[in-house]
Amino acid sequence: VRVMEPLKDSSHTSVWDMTLPVVTERGLSSESVKLGSIRGRPALIEFMASWCVYCQRMAPMVEELYRKYGDSVLFVSIAGSWRGANESTTADFIRRFHTSWPHLFDRQNNVSQYFNVQSIPTYVFLNSNGEEVQRIEGVVPLERLASELERLR
């Protein structure tokens, strides 16, 4: 699903200085995560939206991979606000698809813009320095994501 919007002026804030709220199955939590905390270990960032049927289709596979690789690779979904998605619809997604890895909500889609996300789902693989080493877009076989996670470990 194509989602790219015109790039807004981010006032030159580093993406690693941005803080996003955590969404749980109960909705918006009082917690937030500074993206800089992702650095220091390999990470898989999934860019998604609650209404995205492809994100929904991939959710069980990502859950399976999280259960297998979550001890060695940080998993985080960054839910965008495209087409009316919000914290409540993201919580519904988490409940419906039983996703247990962390979900953050990007109200302004700034992180998606920083990573130049053109469609969802997009999976960005980061090394422990926070550098992008691979990107996969769309619905893909579990084995494709697993092979990239193996390389990150």
**Residue 7 pLDDT greater than 50, yes or no:** no
Q: In what order do the strands lie in the sheet with 19-24?
A: 27-34, 19-24, 103-106, 74-80, 43-48, 122-126, 132-137
Cα angle, residue 139 at apex, residues 25 and 135 outer, rounded to 5°:
90
**Residue 1 pLDDT greater than 70, yes or no:** no
Q: How far apart are CA 42 and CA 46, in angstroms?
A: 13
Confidence of residue 126 (pLDDT cuts 50, 70, 90): very high
Tens digits of residue pLDDT in 17-65: 999 999 999 999 999 999 999 888 999 999 999 999 999 999 999 999 9
Q: Is the torsion defined by CA of 83, 120, 108, 66 positive or negative?
A: positive
Mean pLDDT (the chain) is: 91
In contact, 10 and 35? CB cutoff 8 Å: no
Per-residue model confidence (pLDDT) at position 8: 46
